[in-house]
Copies of this chain bind each other. A is one copy, B any other.
Amino acid sequence: MLLAEGGESLHLAVSMLIIFGSAKLLAELFERLGQPGLIGEILAGILIGPAVLNWVQPSDFTATMAGLGVMFLLFRVGLDVEAPELIKVGGTALLVGVSGVVVPFLCGWIFYVSQGKSQLESFFLGTALTATSVGITAQVLAAKGLLHRTASRIILAAAIIDDILALLLLGVVASLAKGRLDVLQLSLTTAMALIFVILVVRWGQKTLNQVVEKLEGNLRVGEAQFALAMILMFALAALAVKVGVAAIIGAFLAGLALADAVPKRVHDLTHGVTELLVPFFLVDIGLHFQLGVFQDWTSWKLALLIIPIAVLSKMIGCGLGAFSHGRAIAIRVGIGMIPRGEFCMVVAQIGLSLGAISGQTFAVIVFMAIFAAMLTPPLLKIAFRGVLAVPPPEQEVFHLG
């Protein structure tokens, strides 16, 4: 470790310290301000990144840790989703999910076209407005003990559908950006993705319950169930990428499939990894943020226009989908679906890496996501005023993003 590797070991330890430490420091600060800690963690990335202090630059290291972080975040959300609870509201959730993707996409697309942006960049902006960050939503609802209200169950179920639809949408715009929209290829990908998702959702849990039951006690290696869960997660993540959806969807489905099969012990161990790695994902987002573009007025104008569009389009789109449950629930669902997060940043990153969106649009999207997420807790507080908290059966709620 000395001399030769001293530099490396030092670099590793220092990087871990700076990224994780700053994330938690700002998360604590934001929690005290009554805001989701994860916004503080994204801002930590902006602070230590090239935008401000430039202590840490985006690298293979940060990308790897971020990739693992978001994989584990979605895996844990999958583990904590109560499948039956969600299936009960599946019909409404489907409506909410669909209209909650279509309306924001159209609004974002039309708005950007009206601003004289290219079709491609407009598609990317629309796509960036589509996916709700279930992590933020669930965290807020869990903290208030409201996870098991009808509105909350609709939100959780819709967020899953929303996520998958948005990822398929990203598939379309991403291949458009690469200049070759091979419809056959894309519909094939979509078909494979759907088959993959349906197979895992439909039979994954049942199969795994049997597998785990069979293996139970037959394995000698320490923490065998945790090891199996990890292997399944990495396998489904890889498979998901192979069939054309995101690694995070594979990880999420692995969690969903394992939700019943694994004991609380595995939840705890997974939670430890997630607690360590998720900050790297959030900080990595901030690392890509550029303040430079906010020096000109047009960036501010775009940001200030996109925020209401992002918030209202999601509220209206999702609210309409849930209207059959009455106005109050529709409003709660609409507000609960507002926050953007992980996915939004992923779209922005891909758009940037493909040269499909400008640094300005990237910065504006990140700005919008942070703002929309920060807006949600106070609005939810109002929407759920007078609604009694239902203490959940287990403490698993604390595992939610």
Contacts and interface: CB of A to CB of B under 8 A. Distances in A.
Nearest to A279: B227
A394 interface: no
A5 interface: yes
Contact of A9 (B2, B170, B247): B247
A234 B23 CA distance: 14
A3 B64 contact: no
A109 interface: no
Contacts of A269: 268-269, 271-272, 275-276
Interface stretch (A205-213, A255-263, A347-355, A370-378): A347-355
Contacts of A273: 272-273, 276
Interface string A219-240: 1111110110011001101101
A379 interface: no
A202 interface: no
Contacts of A301: none
Q: List the number of copies, as a whole number.
A: 2
A9 B247 CA distance: 6
A387 interface: no
Contacts of A224: 28
Given A241-B1, A247-B9, A270-B272, A235 B350 contact: no
Interface in A343-374: 343, 346, 349-350, 353-354
A268 B275 contact: no
Interface string A366-401: 000000000000000000000000000000001011
Nearest to A71: B13
Given A24-B227, A220-B32, A275-B227, A238 B13 contact: yes
A353 B6 CA distance: 12
Contacts of A231: 17, 20-21, 24
Contacts of A14: 234, 238
Nearest to A226: B275
B247 A12 contact: yes
Interface string A1-39: 111111011101110110011001001100110000100
A327 interface: no
A63 interface: yes
A269 B4 CA distance: 32
Contacts of A9: 67, 237, 241, 246-247
A158 interface: no
Given A28-B224, A401-B222, A350 B4 contact: yes
A381 to B, nearest CB: 15
A342 interface: yes
A350 B3 contact: yes
Interface in A303-355: 342-343, 346, 349-350, 353-354
A187 interface: no
A362 B250 CA distance: 40
7 contacts: A2-B167, A2-B244, A3-B175, A3-B189, A10-B247, A13-B71, A230-B276
Given A10-B242, A17-B238, 11 more contacts: A2-B171, A3-B171, A5-B353, A12-B64, A12-B247, A14-B238, A17-B235, A20-B230, A27-B221, A223-B275, A269-B271
